[in-house]
């Protein structure tokens, strides 16, 4: 067996021989706020799990050891993540999943994005003067809660692909919720920093602030309400969540929020549907980079950027040449310009069919044939577009979310990114889990200058997402599984990691650890406390504005080679990798 531990300084668990051993509280180091610690590349022969918390990785690893497959391990891993990093994801939110089924050599993608309640109006988040609400005024409370989709998606893919019984996959999270887990430094810091908003709901406050004090790193935290919820779902399936007692409690909590009650109804939960959507793929360096299509923007935006960059020899310039980052930055800007104008729920908006058209991307790539930053970036006119009828979206996605990458011993591979949107979602806790605030992933303005916004709110509609679960294929077989957390910056995190590995030949751990340089709409964001800080002047010389800031990704990746598996977790957080 290949055993590992990876993650930021301050991880409080040691994974060894698939057992969890708690380090005494006095030995816990504070979480590093900036900088990147070096991590070892993890190698294994048969299977591997990479995710955002050691407890969760251990759960997924144990399921694989028991004969479960990648989907089984994914479900167990996600349920534990719901417990130990509740700020990021859970059954109160959504997920996007890309899966390679080795039995059929088939790549599929599954979309469990939230839907807007049936009673919403486009002006939901506008004040009396017609202006958008301040972000946290919109986020906190029942009004921001959309119909959760993650649990139904997990149940759907388990029915199709799973091998172990559904109830078995709930046992690790149930036991941990009953016995308690050690609070990570990251969770403790986030709770302390969000005390005012977390204290607005009685159940949320009682859980995160026992005895009116915020939970502390290293303390033992139990969640008996969540254990009871999971036990009910393990015994009876997802019925109680979408039609029964859990559904009634969610609706009551959302609609009884004082000030801005929400609109979620029993009918919304009952009619929620999971979609299997066609994966979005782009050829790049003799490989197929495949991800989610709309309502996720990740697959198309990554595909557009790579389609433009394919016309340049990034391997020759390398990671230390400012012009490599000029190309990457402006390709990203051009792709984000199209993203903001065109991409939304395809059941409500006609997304142009030509966003990945080779001729269109070649035309866009010619804009990059310069030595300076583009002075202005505008959306293009891909085949199938109707640009004159649309305005740029203005939704704000803040960095939260989580990602899981798994490869099993049968050759199946899965990548799933899941979220409750902003950290701690709506701050509404029901039966031990938090509800999302994904309504604020819609554009808060339905129109701008008289033009419709593609990502405007509508009943039953799914909001635009930047979640980017990705599987790279080589000769039809999976070569790499990756994804990240980070709000709209997820796309830049995944793009950088792909280029670092495929163009610059970096092992996956080095590709993940490479300091972030993110450009979405013009200004370059450089990761504080890293070597990226020295790029301010070179980038400014080429015409960019450049700012240094903390950028906290959560990349998790596995590379599949003839010699075996190689995996890594982002050292910026407390993630881990485990394989056998």
Is residue 3 predicted with pLDDT exceeding 50?
no
* pLDDT value for 392: 67
Which two structure tokens, joined as six digits, stand for 461? 């509609």
Q: Is the pLDDT of residue 64 over 90?
A: yes
Beta bridge mates, 556 = 483, 569
Long-range contacts of 386-389 (CB under 8 A, 24+ apart): 386/350, 386/352, 387/341, 387/342, 388/451, 389/451, 389/452
pLDDT at 522: 85
| Number of helices and strands in the chain (H, E) | 19, 26
Which residue would you say has higher pLDDT here, 387 or 51? 51
pLDDT of amino acid 539: 96
- 425-472: pLDDT as tens digits: 999 999 999 999 999 999 998 888 888 899 999 999 999 999 999 999
Strand partners, 414: 99, 406
Contact 149, 263 (CB under 8 A): no
- The mean per-residue pLDDT over the stretch 310-326 comes to 96
Residue 168: left if φ>0, alpha if ψ -120 to 50, beta else—which one?
Answer: alpha
Left, alpha or beta for 147 (phi > 0: left; psi -120 to 50: alpha)?
A: beta
- Residue 116 has a pLDDT of 98
Average pLDDT of the residues in 235-249 = 98
Q: What is the chain's alpha carbon radius of gyration, rounded to the nearest angstrom?
A: 22
Cβ atoms of 566 and 508 within 8 Å: the answer is yes
pLDDT per residue as tens digits for the range 144-160: 999 999 999 999 999 99
Tell me the domains of the chain and their CATH numbers: 13-276+395-516+551-579 (3.60.20.40)
Instruction: Let me know: does 557 contact 481? Beta carbons within 8 Å.
Output: yes
Q: How many CA atoms lie within 13 A of 412 on its CB side?
A: 20
Among residues of the chain, what percentage have pLDDT more than 70?
Answer: 91
Residues 6+ apart with CB under 8 A from 537: none
Residue 393: the pLDDT is 61
What is the arithmetic mean of pLDDT over 510-537? 95
Per-residue pLDDT tens for 16-37? Answer: 333 332 222 222 222 333 345 5
CA distances (Å), origin 137, targets 200, 258, 418: 12, 13, 24
Is residue 181 a contact partner of residue 220, using CB atoms and an 8 Å limit?
A: yes
pLDDT in tens, 482-497: 999 999 999 999 999 9
Examine the pLDDT at 478 and tell me if it is beyond 90: yes
pLDDT of amino acid 423: 94
What does the chain come to in residues?
Answer: 580
Picking from 66-75, 110-119, 163-172, 398-407, which range would have the lowest pLDDT averaged per residue?
398-407
Q: What is the DSSP letter of 260?
A: S
What pLDDT does residue 15 have? 33
CA distance 545 to 44: 43
Looking at every residue in the chain, the average pLDDT score rounds to: 91
Least confident of 398-402, 542-546, 550-554, 560-564: 398-402
Confidence (pLDDT) at 521: 87
Output the pLDDT for position 398: 55
Q: Which of left, alpha, beta for 465 (phi over 0: left; psi -120 to 50: alpha)?
A: beta
| Beta strand segments in 80-221, E | 94-101, 106-112, 181-182, 220-221
In the predicted model, is pLDDT for residue 12 greater than 60?
no
| 210: Cβ contacts below 8 Å, ≥ 6 apart | none
Q: What is the mean pLDDT of residues 559-576?
A: 96
Mean pLDDT, residues 367-371 taken together: 95
C-alpha pair distances (Å), 85 with each of 176, 289, 402, 541 = 13, 29, 9, 41
- Mean pLDDT, residues 80-100: 97
Q: What pLDDT score does 135 carry?
A: 87
* Confidence label for 333 from pLDDT (cuts 50, 70 and 90): very high
The residue from 6, 115, 156, 401 that is catalytic is 401
Q: Are 462 and 113 in contact (CB under 8 A)?
A: yes
Which residues are CB-neighbours of 26 under 8 A, at least 6 positions away? none
pLDDT at 449: 84
Could you confirm whether 401 is annotated as catalytic? yes
């Amino acid at each position: 067996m290949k055993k590992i531990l990876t993650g930021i300084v301050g991880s409080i668990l040691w994974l060894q021989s698939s057992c969890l051993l708690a380090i005494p509280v006095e030995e816990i180091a504070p979480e590093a706020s900036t900088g990147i610690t070096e991590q070892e590349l993890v190698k294994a022969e048969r299977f591997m799990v990479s995710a955002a918390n050691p407890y969760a990785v251990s759960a997924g690893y144990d399921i694989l050891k028991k004969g479960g497959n990648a989907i089984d391990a994914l479900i167990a891993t996600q349920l534990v993540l719901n417990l130990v990093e509740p700020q990021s994801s859970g059954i109160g939110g959504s997920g996007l999943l890309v899966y390679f089924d080795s039995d059929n050599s088939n790549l599929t993608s599954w979309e469990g994005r939230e839907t807007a309640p049936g009673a919403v109006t486009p002006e939901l988040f506008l004040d009396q003067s017609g202006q958008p609400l301040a972000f946290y005024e919109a986020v906190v409370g029942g009004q921001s809660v959309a119909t959760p989709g993650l649990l139904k998606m997990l149940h759907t893919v388990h029915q199709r692909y799973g091998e172990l019984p559904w109830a078995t996959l709930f046992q690790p999270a149930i036991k941990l919720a009953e016995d308690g887990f050690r609070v990570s430094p990251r969770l403790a810091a986030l709770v302390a920093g969000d005390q005012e908003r977390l204290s607005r709901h009685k159940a949320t406050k009682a859980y995160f602030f026992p005895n009116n004090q915020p939970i502390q790193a290293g303390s033992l935290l139990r969640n008996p309400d969540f254990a009871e919820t999971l036990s009910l779902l393990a015994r009876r399936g997802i019925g109680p969540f979408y039609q029964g007692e859990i559904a009634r409690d969610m609706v009551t909590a959302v609609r009884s929020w004082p000030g801005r009650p929400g609109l979620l109804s029993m009918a919304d939960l009952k009619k929620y549907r999971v979609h299997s959507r066609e994966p979005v793929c782009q050829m790049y360096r003799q490989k197929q980079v495949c991800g989610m299509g709309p309502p996720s923007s990740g697959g198309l935006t990554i595909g557009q950027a790579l389609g433009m960059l394919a016309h340049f020899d990034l391997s020759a310039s390398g990671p230390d040449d400012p012009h490599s980052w000029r190309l990457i930055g402006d390709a990203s800007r051009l792709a984000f310009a199209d993203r903001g104008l065109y991409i939304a729920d395809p059941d409500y908006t006609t997304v142009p069919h030509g966003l990945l058209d080779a001729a269109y991307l070649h035309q866009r790539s010619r804009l990059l044939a310069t030595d300076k930053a583009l002075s202005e970036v505008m959306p293009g006119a891909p085949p199938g577009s109707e640009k004159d009828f649309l305005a740029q979206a203005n939704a704000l996605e803040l960095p939260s979310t989580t990602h899981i990458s798994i490869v099993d011993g049968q050759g199946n591979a899965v990548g799933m990114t899941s979220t409750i949107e902003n950290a701690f979602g709506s701050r509404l806790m029901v039966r031990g889990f938090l509800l999302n605030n994904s309504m604020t992933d819609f554009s808060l303005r339905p129109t701008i200058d008289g033009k419709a916004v593609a990502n405007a709110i509508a009943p039953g509609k799914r909001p635009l997402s930047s979640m980017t679960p990705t599987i790279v294929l080589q000769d039809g077989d999976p070569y790499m599984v990756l994804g990240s957390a980070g709000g709209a910056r997820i796309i830049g995190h995944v793009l950088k990691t792909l280029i670092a590995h495929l163009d610059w030949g970096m092992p996956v751990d080095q590709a993940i650890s490479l300091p972030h340089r993110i450009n979405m709409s013009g200004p370059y964001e450089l990761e504080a406390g890293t070597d990226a800080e020295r790029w301010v002047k070179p980038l400014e010389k080429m015409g960019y504005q450049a700012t240094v800031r903390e950028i906290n990704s959560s990349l998790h990746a596995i590379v599949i080679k003839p010699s075996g598996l190689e995996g890594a977790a982002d050292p910026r957080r407390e993630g881990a990798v485990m394989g056998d």
